Amino acid sequence: MKGIIVKIVLASANKGKITEFQKLMPNDEVIAFSEILGKIEIVEDKDSFKGNAIKKAQTIYEELIKIGQNDVIVISDDSGISVPALNNEPGIYSARYAGEGSSDKQNNAKLIENLNKNNLEKTPAFYTACIAIVYKGEVYTVHGWMHGNVINKELGEGGFGYDPMFIANGFDKTLGELGYEAKKEFSHRTKALNLAKKVLDVIL
């Protein structure tokens, strides 16, 4: 981004995502929207990762405009894991698979339960990340994917979400066992963010 320190407002309340974005964009000022706007509930009612990402980014952008924060970039991410053998569940419901307000542990337990119901110890799965960028009223979106297998147990303490249950292609350990430094080299969010950075290079 041409050596400019960019102020980026992240349209997320997910602490794991916020930390990951801050680590992936160390040269930019990345802050959570709540630091400026306080608590805002955004209903993720679209039928795709792209739709939800755009809604989150646009909602926060419009709220920032109302308080005179005109020259900011809002970035949102909607992401999740899909298991083809389970009709691509949890998919867009990944963050609330076990119900609204559910924890990572509860969501993982629900996925393990459904895998066991189908006698699946290990089965193909993939992560999708869609990043939406809103800047000066314009909307841009990019996607990234990570393929591998999901297993019916949790291994490792690293990462967040379904990381302890996911083994990426080419590895024999879960993302929870590999830890952040390894994951960031090939994750769906890293891939999407690398594309997002190219978009920012063009628009800034």
Residue 1: inside a domain: no
* Spatial contact of 54 and 141, defined as CB atoms under 8 Å apart: yes
Interatomic CA distance for residues 77 and 10, integer angstroms = 8
Residue 37: inside a domain: yes
Residue 183: inside a domain: yes
pLDDT tens-digit readout, 62-113: 999 999 988 899 999 999 999 999 999 999 999 999 999 999 999 999 999 9
Please report, for the domain that includes residue 81, its CATH number: 3.90.950.10
Domain residues for the domain of 102 are: 7-203
- Please spell the DSSP secondary structure of 47-116, one letter per residue: SSHHHHHHHHHHHHHHHHHHTT--S-EEEEEEEEEEEGGGTTEEGGGGGGTTSTT--HHHHHHHHHHHHH
Give the residue numbers annotated as catalytic, written as ranges: 78
Interatomic CA distance for residues 27 and 125, integer angstroms = 33
Least confident of 16-20, 125-129, 132-136, 168-172: 16-20
Domain count, the chain: 1
Q: Is the pLDDT of residue 125 over 50?
A: yes
The average pLDDT across 27-40 equals 90
pLDDT tier at 2 (50, 70, 90 boundaries)? very low
The average pLDDT across 191-200 equals 93
Residue 2: inside a domain: no
89: left (phi over 0), alpha (psi -120 to 50) or beta: beta
CA dihedral 56, 149, 172, 186 (to 10 degrees): -30
pLDDT tier at 161 (50, 70, 90 boundaries)? very high
* Spatial contact of 111 and 150, defined as CB atoms under 8 Å apart: yes
Residue 45: inside a domain: yes
Neighbours of 201 (CB within 10 A): 10
